[in-house]
């Protein structure tokens, strides 16, 4: 994250495997985000981007994995959903 220039990147890397269909893969997805001027605290921006940025990107990752595995066989690999707002909360 470059808070001074108000930009950030999030990279999601997913390993997926469907042993029954001999499908194994690695997908890396990079998203770029602009930090709004209303956000004035750098740590708050990090938490917001981590939670919301990944939540925005993950449906695209799921879709890509399904499309890639559908090209091989009719048995498509579908990644499970994930609740990012509860998954990244500090305990």
Beta-bridge partners for 29:
12
Q: Tens digits of per-residue pLDDT, 14-61?
A: 998 888 878 889 999 999 999 999 999 999 999 989 999 999 999 999
Report the predicted TM-score, pTM, of the whole model to 2 decimal places.
0.77
Q: What are phi and psi of 75, to 5 degrees?
A: -85, 95
Q: Which residues contact 87 (CB under 8 A, 6 or more apart)?
A: none
pLDDT band at 91 (very low <50, low <70, confident <90, very high): very low
Q: What are phi and psi of 89, to 5 degrees?
A: -70, 140
Distances (CA, A) of 52 to 33, 38, 73, 75: 11, 16, 33, 31
Model confidence at 89: pLDDT above 60: no
């Amino acid at each position: 994250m470059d808070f001074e220039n108000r930009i950030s990147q999030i990279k999601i890397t997913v390993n997926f495997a469907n042993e029954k269909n001999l499908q194994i893969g690695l997908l890396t997805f990079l998203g770029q985000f602009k930090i709004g001027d209303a956000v004035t605290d750098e740590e708050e921006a990090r938490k917001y981007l981590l939670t919301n940025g990944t939540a925005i990107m993950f449906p695209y990752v799921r879709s890509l994995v399904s499309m890639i595995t559908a090209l091989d066989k009719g048995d498509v690999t579908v990644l499970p959903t994930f609740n990012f707002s509860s998954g990244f909360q500090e305990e």
